[in-house]
């Protein structure tokens, strides 16, 4: 259920309860004392509300569902661990798209898979990204040291 559908559900619940409350206010005691009729029958308004709710719920359904599930994510991450240990995010993104989606995946799908948000294995994915950043940092430090040594040897 997406956000629009949740909002619609809450709104329909409020209207449903409102119709019931107005019908209760229509009780014989209320009419005899105040001489006011608000809602005489609740059946027709409730049916109208139900039909309208069902139609809007279907119309507000988000577009396509994601073409992968949590089991697919696990397979993709195993493949990444085996085949993309030294690639940066963009290269990894392109490799996953090419290998699993034949280059047809939307970028938001790839970002969703690589980020691991809202999945049971988000901690593991964060650990993978942390280890990757650590390797990149060590590589940068090593390259800077080699570059510094090379510059010094050129000066001599």
Return the residue matching tokens 């994510």: 73
- pLDDT digits over 52-61, tens only? 888 888 888 7
Supply the pLDDT for residue 97. Answer: 92
| CA distance to 8, 26, 42, per residue, from 128 (Å) | 39, 64, 58
Q: Please give the average per-residue pLDDT across 77-93, as a whole number.
A: 83
User: Would you kindly state where each structural domain of the chain is located, as residue ranges?
Assistant: 3-59, 70-155
Q: Please give the average per-residue pLDDT across 65-77, as a whole number.
A: 81
Are 115 and 76 in contact by the 8 Å Cβ rule? The answer is: no
Supply the pLDDT for residue 98. Answer: 94
- pLDDT digits over 109-146, tens only? 888 888 877 677 777 777 777 887 888 888 888 888 88
Q: Examine the pLDDT at 100 and tell me if it is beyond 60.
A: yes
């Amino acid at each position: 259920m997406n956000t629009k559908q949740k909002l619609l559900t809450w709104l329909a619940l409020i209207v449903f309860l409102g119709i019931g409350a107005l019908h209760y206010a229509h009780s014989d005691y209320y009419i005899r004392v105040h001489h006011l009729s608000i809602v005489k029958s609740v059946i027709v308004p409730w049916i109208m509300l139900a039909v309208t709710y069902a139609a809007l719920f279907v119309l507000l359904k988000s577009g396509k569902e994601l073409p992968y599930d949590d089991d697919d994510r696990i397979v993709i991450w195993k493949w990444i661990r085996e085949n993309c240990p030294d690639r940066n995010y963009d290269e990894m993104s392109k490799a996953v798209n090419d290998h699993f989606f034949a280059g047809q995946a939307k970028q938001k799908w790839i970002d969703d898979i690589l980020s691991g948000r809202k999945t049971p294995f988000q901690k593991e994915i964060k650990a993978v990204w942390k280890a990757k950043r650590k390797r990149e940092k060590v590589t940068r430090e090593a390259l800077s040291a080699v570059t510094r040594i090379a510059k010094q040897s050129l000066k001599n």
